[in-house]
Structure 1
Amino acid sequence: MKNSFLRWGIKLARPWFIFGSLKRPILPYRVNLMFFDEKLGPDKQPNVGDLLSKVIFNFLLKSKGIKSLRSKRTYRISFVGSVIQFLTGDAVVYGSGFLYESVVAKFASEKVKLDVRAVRGPNTKRMLESIGYTVPEVYGDPAILLPLFYQPKTANPKKEYIVIPHWKKTQDYDSKKYAVLSTLTGDWEHFIDEIASSKLVLSASLHGIIIAEAYGVPAILLGHTEKNDLFKYQDYYLSTGRENFVIAKDIDEALKLEIPQVPDFKEMQKKFMDAFPVDIFKDK
């Protein structure tokens, strides 16, 4: 009985913590950035995509002249990554997406109120609209904004290519045979520098693809993904107007493919920047 009450109490409390982490409370009358801060893998490092949530968010605050997270209400803002399905409290959505289509029904049962300003792509828009949310046609992962404030230090000559595995499968790649770049790192600048110092990126990491293309580096998707579910990848590619994209089964196949064109992000970046919810930052 005691354990049942404890579980019930934790369930009631979780919406007031960032992604249910009981060590990270939602602060009242603040804008609370929803991001993961777990240390992953054998070396206990952050996932660079999660780390970039704070980096890009701080850039946006500075660029919009916002000096305080204080607000008249308590806000959650869902930002970088496939995180919408983890929301358990009302939130503003700005650039997030769903991880898989299969998680949408369970999320709908949570009956969370969302104020959607932008989503990662058309797949997420379609899924949110299917369960009753209003979604503007504003697309983009916040990582497309990185070139607006960080200029990488590039090596010369550049590497012919680098390989970025999904973080759960990094150990499957021989770092002596290939130039492997792990997404598990606390040094986001080095991660970007390595991408920008390559002529081609072969990546099973979605943020590896997005960051490469944002900096003008061609990228090919490796099919060695977490669960062979391409929902989030399709979401991103569709956001840039690409209904078809190449998936290589392995590195050897990827190196034989025609190098894809990199999309022009200028219009998307502007539209995405304009959609930033400056109105929720009110400290008076």
Structure 2
Amino acid sequence: MNFRGNLRRLINEVGCDFIHQLPYPHVDLFYWRPDDGTINFGDHLSIVVVDHLLRQFGYTLADEVPRQARLFAIGSVLHYARNGDVIWGSGVNGRPGQGDLNHRVQNLDVRAVRGPRTREVLQRRGISVPEVFGDPALLLPQLFPNRFRPTAKKPWVFVPNLHDLNLVDPTADTVVSPLGSWNRRIDAILEAELVLASSLHGIIVAEAFGIPARYVRLSSGEAEFKYHDYYEGTGRFAVEFATSIDEGREMGGAARLNLDHRALMNAFPIDLWSGKN
């Protein structure tokens, strides 16, 4: 691995998301990025959603704020959290070695989490967690009401998780790679009548825009925890997973999500910028 890759890995390990820190109090938005510098669209949606929502309030991520803070929004990244971090929609990963909080973490400022399974993990640590659930990527239709629209150009597409990329042909017309620009990934997902995915955000984006979707578990690269956490956070329990693309096509989409978008939106920690509780 080259120097840049080693540096990026170090940054992820210590939980700092920006190489060049701003020289004044600001809000660091933490989100996971691959070591090789590529963009995994689901994780990158964190900066898209937070930045766009902030601008509606008249703020930016570059603003000086009353006190230094670190925010976790989209992603299964809570194993990187440190004492005092602010949580709005993140979840526990569930993979071995990444399945829980760092043992040193005793207090977090939690505004919302992805689902009830994450809430239970945090509560076992003695951390207060409100019953406000949902991945912030579910707010994309509300944040971009006139930009993205389902087109139903294809009967189905498959969106693989990074760990499953080697199991599919990324050049196939029915495959939407998770690597690349966030807007083009969304455009490609919205071309389908049915979205099959091992990428959690392939499922989330489809369902946010009302497209039926089904989780296809092609490998054990990701723990089932985060998928159950997402489904249960949107009011669906005991959702069945497909074990192949063909089985997923036969099963069709899961039941439609049930989410209070307003509760998730209202939980956004704008006070980190305004200084008003």
TM-score by length of 2: 0.85
Bigger helix share = 1
1:36 equivalent among 32, 53, 56: 32
Aligned equivalent of 1:169, options 160, 164, 167:
164
Counterpart contact for 2:156–2:196, Cα < 8 Å: yes
Q: How far apart are 1:279 and its partner, in Å? A: 1.3
* Counterpart for residue 5 of structure 1: none
Higher CA-based Rg:
1
1:113 aligns with 2:118: no
Aligned residue pairs total 265
Residues 188 and 146 (structure 1), Cα distance of their counterparts in 2 relative to 1, 3 Å cut = same
Q: Decide whether aligned partners of structure 1 residues 239 and 26 sit closer, same or farther in structure 2, where only a CA change above 3 A counts.
A: farther
The equivalent position to 1:55 in structure 2, one of 48, 59, 62, is: 48
The answer to whether the aligner puts 1:280 opposite 2:272 as a matched pair is: yes
Q: 1:1-284, aligned counterparts within 5 Å?
A: 19-20=15-16, 23-25=19-21, 28-38=24-34, 40=36, 45-67=38-60, 69-100=63-94, 103=97, 107-150=101-144, 151-152=147-148, 154-155=150-151, 158-175=153-170, 179-185=174-180, 187-227=181-221, 229-265=223-259, 268-282=260-274
Unaligned residue ranges in structure 2 (runs of 5+): 1-9
Distance (Å, rounded) in 2 between the aligned partners of 1:18 and 1:71: 23
Structure 1 residue runs without a partner (length 5+):
1-12
**Matched position secondary structure for 2:89:** strand
Q: CA deviation at 1:246?
A: 1.7
Distance 1:248 1:277, change over 3 A: same
Q: TM-score, normalised by structure 1?
A: 0.83
Cα distance, 1:177 vs structure 2: 5.9
Going from structure 1 to structure 2, the CA distance change for 1:133 and 1:103 (only over 3 Å counts) comes to farther
Structure 1 consecutive aligned stretches of length 4 or more whose deviation exceeds 6 Å? none
What do residues 91-119 of structure 1 show as CA deviations (whole Å, max 9, x unaligned)? Answer: 11000011017557863522353100000
Once residues 111 and 246 of structure 1 are traced to their aligned partners in structure 2, the CA distance between those partners, rounded to angstroms, is: 34
CA contact (8 A) 1:80 1:141 kept: yes
